[in-house]
Structure 1
């Protein structure tokens, strides 16, 4: 072979090898399945997540992406809204339901790609809604139920509604569907799995089988992680005889509960089978979104596993309970049933569980919940007591309870279920009793300040726990100092009541205390009550107040006492009380201190009698500084409903009478020694704050001709001609005197 042919053959071989390697890389991604999730956070913020399931046994580590791109499209127009790069945030293994059943040929990784995104209402309010898509290649080569699985891509898809409707926020999170699956199925055995999801908004969920989406991605190296294109997305191609309603061959074939999400199949062929599920959410009867999941189920040959068996037997019955025929009638003497459960397989570990079918609340108790049969030293049959609560009340209805025994077989436990129908009434229960040592004659009588005490005893025929409570009719006992101290003695609840009777109020002197003993068997309160009325006996005769001088009674105008400057006033007061209550006499000035006004009061207080002497000496200082002087005398008794005695007096300092003041009205300044000057020796004298200030003399035309501040003035008329002149005299308290004086020359 010449050199040219050799070079040609080498290049051809190298090219074929490169294509083979590229094909192997493309076919070695081994994506098991996955789903998208969109959760509302706040405002316009959401969390977008892609969960990807990856074959950890056969998958190529180089096919694990550090990020994937999701695209949001508008449904009505397929308009691309935004591309979102989702970083890888978590990489874990999916656990088996029963770790003991782990298969070395099956291991799945869960890859989480997630990012917070904004969906502003201004951009996402189209009524047709939106969808999110991620396209990725490729599927497992070993898938048994589709054509050319190694070249088949996957499209992860969800739909969500507009975030705003009619100008108002429309909040929705997509349903979080079914936990991931790592279990395998056994050929010829029933496989079941609860794929039921949850919706945080409380929307209704509907499940159905769908054909998985292939999309636009291919096995080409440059197209293994493409940017998603808009819908429609192509489906995978089923093998002959298979379809969306017959995805895994079996009897029965694969099915899912439309409302429950329970997946079931009894596979008839070995292999690796892909299947697709759609979960749609409805609000008020309107579909608002959906989530799809692609996944795989591997079918293996498994060791034969016999199902366990369970029988139920009630006390006094020779035959076992017959499901659908018998109904347990639970009574006081018989609230338990005997469960016998076993398994034909050696070393089988069994467990019991209970599932209420048509009721909620407390479940019966099992004396034995699990155990092993048919091993050395272990029994062939396990026995457990199923005992129903004594308080269980079905209110005449028939309750259904699934009693389930499960083994630890692979791939999933086999079970036997007996559905028990039963009715139940709570055990009869009598009300408690309550007695007191108060009485027997009511009401009880007590004087203010005295202490009253009595005991209460509460008992219950069935020894149910008791509480003892004290209340008042129209009042709070503890606010009045009443106490109830409790303690338990010989299955009795005892209480001691103690109360120091307070003063009665003007509106209340009878107090009714109510004591209640309560038991709450089966959450049904039963009570017994005792009412103890207590009358506070109290009478009061008000004190009397007398005085040596007349004083005004309460509500009357004050008595007025007048004294000239330097004059004195004295009065003696005496208070008497027929009840011998402590009496207190006081005297108080209205807005002034007694001593500052020249007043004094000396009381002598005591039980049943109080006296006091009041004195006052009239002075200008008090009148000038304090103005009107009003004094209140009060006699107060120390008792529950006091009747105080009050007297008032107004004190005034009298002034000189000015009515007789007659100033001269003519003088003759002719130097004859007779009436030559205008003088006023009889001017009213200065008094307290009323003092002479000035005299002014005016002509008939208002011209001032004379002024002086000397109260002993003497005016000779100057050179003024004869005639009448006006004079004006002013005092410091603005008192005025005016008149005419005539100069006669």
Structure 2
């Protein structure tokens, strides 16, 4: 059954669908294009390319879409060396509803393919028709194609994996309140990343393999109301730009100053969109990747995420926020914007707490990090609490790495959200890091079929999570007051190897279930 729009989204629906006399093929809300070295010894220059597209749920004719990837060597010109290949769809999911009424959702579709990229300078690009209607900050969005690019310079015969964005939640909020989002990405090679806001692009007419910047719209000077003091303040006339792509202001002393703050080191974004101009905007952020070669920092690649940023008419619901962070078994408090120091080969656990300014609302944590970051897992551990655990690969290079976590409330008609960046500084393995490895607990009987048990170190009631070999959660258990844990899996749990971990990730039991006799 198709979802209905909540009343608070009706204005945006009208904007998007106001010109439906023309039929388009995809109605793109955003996307990104990533690449990964396959390590295929028989094909030493082979890369897997992944395109992730965000699309309007109501478009049913996208089933046949097979995007064409264009790979250009050198500069983008008619005579440049290039080739094209179709990508194959590997997954499609419908996101969870954004609110409590009408089940408004969007589609995330993932496509993949492989290409050969011998030493050279390469631009990978993708074009789709067309963007969604009524984007407020670019001209005639319904007439503009969607163009996304990534870049690789492997002239020196280096091997590279592009950064991967660690959250798949599109930014949205009820207007006239501060909002925090994040474009942070994880780079498995440990390269240095720098984030910059860039102008969205469309295909260049017949040269669809090249992109050109879409012109921004402008707005006249006017007056808005300060949501805190209730006073009216003036704002200047301005043309939207990469530096200020939203109708967003920082208000102080009776003055409204354009406000769009993107952290160049982490990709975290802060803005304050106001209710005077609600609607969908386009925000594009490029992640530039640098590596030290022969003593100098060289740009070796980049990826761009181009997405819709939706500002809705509010109903008084205020966004929740991540209110605290504690690290390790000792649960030492740490500032949210302070990097967490950890060594390669070490396991670190981070407990996150959230609050909501609206009485009676509940919050929930989520994170896409486990699907992107090797060794990462995330689970909710209470009504306002989540646990991020990272078993840092021993081979991971020293450097800065960031993940995202999302906290949402159950406000009506639209849930409030905050996407927060958690940053780690990874150092080389040390004796202290080795000592911090999880303590292995002895389970019996092994192998088992009907029941298995093991003893936790602390004699108190504790939460335990059981996962399979792929890290998928199988069961949530609670120890007895004396720390004893007993697991009696159901008949649907197949024979195989499982791992039981204490909630802080510091104690692990290996569980081997045998087949029924």
**TM-score with structure 2 setting the length:** 0.51
Look up the match of 2:305: 293
Offset at residue 341 of structure 1 (A)? 10
Structure-2 change in CA distance of 1:117 and 1:411 (3 Å): same
Deviations 1:303-336 (A, max 9, x none): 3246889999xxxxxxxxxx9xxxxxxxxxxxxx
Is this contact kept in 2: 1:134–1:227, CA < 8 A?
no
Offset at residue 54 of structure 1 (A)? 0.7
Q: 2:142 aligns with which of 134, 138, 150?
A: 150
Is this contact kept in 2: 1:40–1:171, CA < 8 A?
yes
Offset at residue 293 of structure 1 (A)? 1.5
Q: What secondary structure sits across from 1:228 in the alignment? A: strand
Structure-2 change in CA distance of 1:244 and 1:311 (3 Å): closer
Offset at residue 100 of structure 1 (A)? 6.9
Look up the match of 2:83: 82
- Work out whether 1:71 is the aligned partner of 2:83: no
Q: What secondary structure sits across from 2:23 in the alignment? A: helix
1:601-620 equivalences in 2 (<5 Å): none
Look up the match of 1:49: 50
Q: What secondary structure sits across from 1:215 in the alignment? A: strand
Offset at residue 414 of structure 1 (A)? 7.3
- Work out whether 1:278 is the aligned partner of 2:274: no
Structure 1 or 2: larger strand share?
Answer: 2
- Work out whether 1:238 is the aligned partner of 2:216: yes
Is this contact kept in 2: 1:132–1:157, CA < 8 A?
yes
Is this contact kept in 1: 2:323–2:355, CA < 8 A?
no
Deviations 1:85-125 (A, max 9, x none): 112222212x35xx573564842111222112223xxxx32
Offset at residue 63 of structure 1 (A)? 4.1
Structure-2 change in CA distance of 1:202 and 1:342 (3 Å): closer
Measured in 2, the distance between the counterparts of 1:286 and 1:278 equals 16
Q: 2:36 aligns with which of 36, 39, 57?
A: 39
Is this contact kept in 2: 1:160–1:288, CA < 8 A?
yes
Q: 2:271 aligns with which of 265, 273, 280?
A: 265
Look up the match of 1:319: none
Larger Rg: 1
Deviations 1:514-543 (A, max 9, x none): xxxxxxxxxxxxxxxxxxxxxxxxxxxxxx
Measured in 2, the distance between the counterparts of 1:346 and 1:106 equals 25
Structure 2: unaligned runs, 5 residues or longer:
1-18, 219-238, 251-258, 325-334, 336-352, 367-380, 386-406, 420-457, 459-517
Q: What secondary structure sits across from 2:22 in the alignment? A: helix
Measured in 2, the distance between the counterparts of 1:194 and 1:39 equals 22
Q: 1:30 aligns with which of 27, 31, 43?
A: 27
Structure-2 change in CA distance of 1:214 and 1:30 (3 Å): same
Look up the match of 1:549: none
Offset at residue 62 of structure 1 (A)? 2.0
Offset at residue 146 of structure 1 (A)? 1.5
Is this contact kept in 2: 1:177–1:279, CA < 8 A?
no
Structure-2 change in CA distance of 1:202 and 1:237 (3 Å): same
Look up the match of 1:91: 92
Deviations 1:580-612 (A, max 9, x none): xxxxxxxxxxxxxxxxxxxxxxxxxxxxxxxxx
Is this contact kept in 2: 1:184–1:411, CA < 8 A?
no
Deviations 1:352-395 (A, max 9, x none): 99xxxxxxxxxxxxxx96479xxxxxxxxxxxxxxxxxxxxxxx
Structure-2 change in CA distance of 1:194 and 1:174 (3 Å): same
Look up the match of 1:160: 152
Q: 1:228 aligns with which of 191, 208, 212?
A: 208
Measured in 2, the distance between the counterparts of 1:208 and 1:189 equals 24
Q: 2:127 aligns with which of 117, 120, 135?
A: 135
Structure-2 change in CA distance of 1:179 and 1:351 (3 Å): closer
Measured in 2, the distance between the counterparts of 1:29 and 1:101 equals 24
Q: 1:193 aligns with which of 181, 189, 195?
A: 181
Measured in 2, the distance between the counterparts of 1:345 and 1:22 equals 38
Offset at residue 351 of structure 1 (A)? 8.2
Structure-2 change in CA distance of 1:90 and 1:227 (3 Å): farther
Is this contact kept in 2: 1:185–1:300, CA < 8 A?
yes
- The answer to which structure, 1 or 2, has the higher relative contact order (CA under 8 A, 6+ apart) is 2
Structure-2 change in CA distance of 1:32 and 1:369 (3 Å): closer
Is this contact kept in 2: 1:69–1:227, CA < 8 A?
no
Measured in 1, the distance between the counterparts of 2:415 and 2:382 equals 22
Structure-2 change in CA distance of 1:246 and 1:142 (3 Å): same
Structure-2 change in CA distance of 1:306 and 1:140 (3 Å): closer
Q: What secondary structure sits across from 1:274 in the alignment? A: strand
Structure-2 change in CA distance of 1:265 and 1:81 (3 Å): same
**TM-score with structure 1 setting the length:** 0.36
Aligned length: 302
Structure-2 change in CA distance of 1:160 and 1:104 (3 Å): farther
Structure-2 change in CA distance of 1:103 and 1:178 (3 Å): farther
Q: 1:110 aligns with which of 108, 111, 130?
A: 108
Quote the RMSD (CA, aligned, Å). Answer: 4.0
Offset at residue 68 of structure 1 (A)? 1.6
1:396-415 equivalences in 2 (<5 Å): 409=411, 411-413=415-417
Offset at residue 142 of structure 1 (A)? 2.4
Offset at residue 342 of structure 1 (A)? 8.3
Structure-2 change in CA distance of 1:227 and 1:67 (3 Å): farther
Structure-2 change in CA distance of 1:136 and 1:239 (3 Å): same
Measured in 1, the distance between the counterparts of 2:304 and 2:55 equals 17
Q: 1:125 aligns with which of 119, 125, 128?
A: 119
Deviations 1:177-204 (A, max 9, x none): 2422245211002221222101111111
Measured in 1, the distance between the counterparts of 2:319 and 2:55 equals 33
Deviations 1:231-269 (A, max 9, x none): 4x2211211121111111012433321111112221112
